[in-house]
Amino acid sequence: MKSPIFAANWKMHHGPSDATTFMRSFLAHSPRRSDRTVLIFPPALSVAAVVASLHERQDVLVGVQNIHWEDKGAFTGEVSAGIARDAGARVALVGHSERRHVFGETDEETALKCAAAARAGLTPMLCVGELLSEREAGETAAVVLRQLHAGLSRLEPGQLTSLAIAYEPVWAIGTGKTATPDDAATVHAVLRKALRELAGERGAKVPILYGGSVNRGNVSELLAARDVDGVLVGGASLDATGWSAIVGS
């Protein structure tokens, strides 16, 4: 994935019909660019609609917001990495803060999911981020490092370079409170150092995205911050015109 990476997390918005309408408008407003990566995480049931709308635009990548860690079996309601890959996804979000804090996903589950994604040929995008109380207690670096090491613990050494990290401070998600570019750069530097220690210079090249109340007004200054290789956008990615403007920043 070429940096900067512009990733849209639609969360539980845009069913297949809306997704098709969105993509028509977005593609009309966003010419192909070779100097960046555009990635869309629709709800699982809308992945096929987004993939179908991209038949002439292989430059836009599609991902899933979550996967199960088993390859197949009696897990009603779940989607495996292999099924996601077969549907056209290339990336899997793992450990998004809503998975952790609304659905109780554990560090161990994020490790299993990263391994399952890699096994199926999907790029895992591991999300890390601290709660407001953890930030106020001075624990930000310890929390994101724990999540990083745990989440990557089941990857083979050779898989440690085919991944992405998203730093999303929980207090900045959907709240309108954005980390300052300096806040983001500080945490990204901690993550970069850890990735270098884990996998050398190739590990240091793993893209690290920032997410949390990113919008048209703040995207450029966040992308200009040191060690910020992209953005993961929730609310501001839901409108095709607004998302085109962000991607064109």
Question: Which residue stretch of 15-23, 118-126, 132-140, 208-216 sits at the interface with ligand 13P (rule: CB under 6 A)?
Answer: 208-216
Per CB under 6 A, 242 contacts ligand 13P: no
Per CB under 6 A, 174 contacts ligand 13P: yes
Binders of ligand 13P among residues 54 to 93 (CB under 6 A) are none
Query: Strand ranges (DSSP E) for the chain?
Result: 5-9, 37-41, 60-64, 91-94, 123-128, 164-167, 208-211, 230-233
Per CB under 6 A, 181 contacts ligand 13P: no
Choice between 23 and 214, CB closer to ligand 13P: 214
Per CB under 6 A, 214 contacts ligand 13P: yes
Question: Which residue stretch of 136-144, 166-174, 218-226, 239-247 sits at the interface with ligand 13P (rule: CB under 6 A)?
Answer: 166-174
Peptide bond into 4 cis (omega under 30): yes
Q: Nearest Cα to 94, choosing from 38, 141, 139, 159?
A: 159
Catalytic residue status for 188: no
- CB 232 to ligand 13P: min, Å: 5
Q: Which residue is nearest to ligand 13P (CB)?
A: 234
Per CB under 6 A, 37 contacts ligand 13P: no
Per CB under 6 A, 213 contacts ligand 13P: yes
Angle at 37 between CA 33 and CA 38, to 5 degrees: 95
Angle at 43 between CA 37 and CA 48, to 5 degrees: 75
Give the Å distances, CA to CA, from 21 to 15, 16, 59, 239.
10, 9, 19, 11
Give the Å distances, CA to CA, from 172 to 47, 66, 119, 143.
27, 21, 32, 16
Per CB under 6 A, 173 contacts ligand 13P: yes
Determine how β-strand 5-9 pairs with β-strand 37-41: parallel
Question: Which residue stretch of 80-88, 111-119, 200-208, 226-234 sits at the interface with ligand 13P (rule: CB under 6 A)?
Answer: 226-234
Task: Tell me which of 14, 68, 96, 188 is the catalytic residue.
Answer: 96
Q: Give the residue carrying structure tokens 């096994």.
A: 119
- Integer Cα distance of 27 and 180 in angstroms: 30
Question: Which residue stretch of 23-31, 112-120, 168-176, 216-224 sits at the interface with ligand 13P (rule: CB under 6 A)?
Answer: 168-176
Cβ pair 170, 139 in contact under 8 A: no
Per CB under 6 A, 147 contacts ligand 13P: no
Per CB under 6 A, 217 contacts ligand 13P: no
Catalytic residue status for 101: no
Residue of the chain from 211, 219, 222, 246 that contacts ligand 13P (CB under 6 A): 211
Interface with ligand 13P (CB under 6 A): 9, 96, 168, 173-174, 211-214, 232-236
The residues annotated as belonging to the active site are 96, 168
